[in-house]
Amino acid sequence: MLNIIQIPVLTDNYIYLLHDSVSGETAVVDPALAQPVLEILDINGWQLTYILNTHHHWDHVGGNLELKQKTRCRIIAANSDSERIPGIDRGVFEGDVIALGSHQATIIETPGHTSGHIVYYFAKDEALFCGDTLFAMGCGRLFEGSAEQMWTSLQKLKVLPSLTRVYCTHEYTQANGRFALSVEPDNVQLQQRMIEVAKLRLLNKSTLPSTIEVEKATNPFFREDNSRLQKKLGLEDQSAVIVFTELRKRKDSF
Ligand code: ZN
Ligand code: FE
């Protein structure tokens, strides 16, 4: 079994620590900071094997160099971002497979939030580490890509098996859900999800991971092909990309 530990850091970031007890190998996804990771490694008596970065933003790579120096781990990230990922050892491409013990992750390139953004998909473990591409009821802002590029990237995630757990890097769920409700006020599953999310946040608990299935039912950026949503936007029978572009635009100023 792949042991997954969620570490909340900064205002709303999550670092994920992955451990395979058979091989003893351990990976960390997007270490914004080194110290909280070192503490959990220490508590469990684990040695860090890899850092897996999804993209170059500081709140995803901030702990890279300190962790590398203290644990001698290897850093894996998109080859196209070799110049921007501190300490990178191995640059990966779409379709590459990396292994943590017997657990394998496929690299999926998802440009949009940044040009070199990648996600790590552990098919057998039904787990997706999607960085700032897909959020609960939302998606990443377009800093280095077009809406069409982001839409294309999200299509690659939308087709993953419905029970795949979605491990996003930020606790943006409640704010995203408020926007989702503004464009789909009649979506009953969305209404129910927001009640559950409110309960969790009141207790300061994490709302993640989500699943592909839940996102398909409640995330407007996965529902650009829904006719009622299109009608609400005044974009009936428009292409999915046009609807997606309008959604992203509205969310930016929501
Ligand atoms: Zn980012
Ligand atoms: Fe981020």
Q: Which two tokens stand for residue 49?
A: 């094997």
Ligand positioned closest to the Cα atom of 117: 1
Taking alpha carbons only, the member of 189, 195, 179 closest to residue 214 is 189
**Digits of tens for pLDDT over the chain (254 positions)?**
899 999 999 999 999 999 999 999 999 999 999 999 999 999 999 999 999 999 999 999 999 999 999 999 999 999 999 999 999 999 999 999 999 999 999 999 999 999 999 999 999 999 999 999 999 999 999 999 999 999 999 999 999 999 999 999 999 999 999 999 999 999 999 999 999 999 999 999 999 999 999 999 999 999 999 999 999 999 999 999 999 999 999 999 99
How far is ligand 1, taken at its centre, from the CA of residue 54, in Å?
9
Q: Is 60 a catalytic residue?
A: yes
C-alpha closest to that of 53 among 1, 104, 91:
91
Q: Ligand 1 mean position to 93 CA, how many Å? A: 19
Q: CA-CA distance, 140 to 228, in Å (whole number)?
A: 23
Contact of 52 with 129, CB cutoff 8 Å: yes
C-alpha 170 to ligand 2 mean position (Å): 7
SS3 65: helix
Distance 133 CA to ligand 2 centre (A): 9
Q: Which bound ligand lies closest to the C-alpha atom of 170?
A: 2
Tell me how far apart the alpha carbons of residues 11 and 236 are, in angstroms, rounded to a whole number.
38
Spacing, Cα 179 to ligand 2 middle (Å): 19
Q: Rounded to an integer, what distance in angstroms lies between the CA atom of residue 236 and that of residue 42?
A: 55
| Global model pTM greater than 0.95 | yes
User: Burial of 226 by CB count in 10 Å (0-12 exposed, 13-18 middle, 19+ buried)?
Assistant: middle
Q: Does residue 111 have a cis bond before it (omega within 30 degrees)?
A: no
Question: Cβ(125)–Cβ(160) under 8 Å?
Answer: no
> One of 19, 56, 60, 103 is an active-site residue; which one?
60
pLDDT at 98: 98
Catalytic residue check, 59 = yes
Catalytic annotation on 56?
no
To the query of whether residue 170 is one of the catalytic residues in this protein, the response is yes
The owner of tokens 């990966």 is 92
Distance CA 38, CA 41 (A): 5
pLDDT score, position 46: 98
Closest CA to 93 of 110, 112, 108: 108
Q: How far apart are CA 10 and CA 20, in angstroms?
A: 26
CA of 100 to the centre of ligand 2 (A): 24
Q: Is 204 helix (H, G, I), strand (E, B) or coil?
A: coil
DSSP code of 145? Answer: S
For residue 53, the model assigns a pLDDT of 99
- Walk me through the domains of the chain, giving residue ranges and CATH numbers: 2-252 (3.60.15.10)
Q: Which ligand is closest in space to the CA of residue 114?
A: 1
- Phi, psi of 5, deg, nearest 5: -115, 130
pLDDT at residue number 222: 98
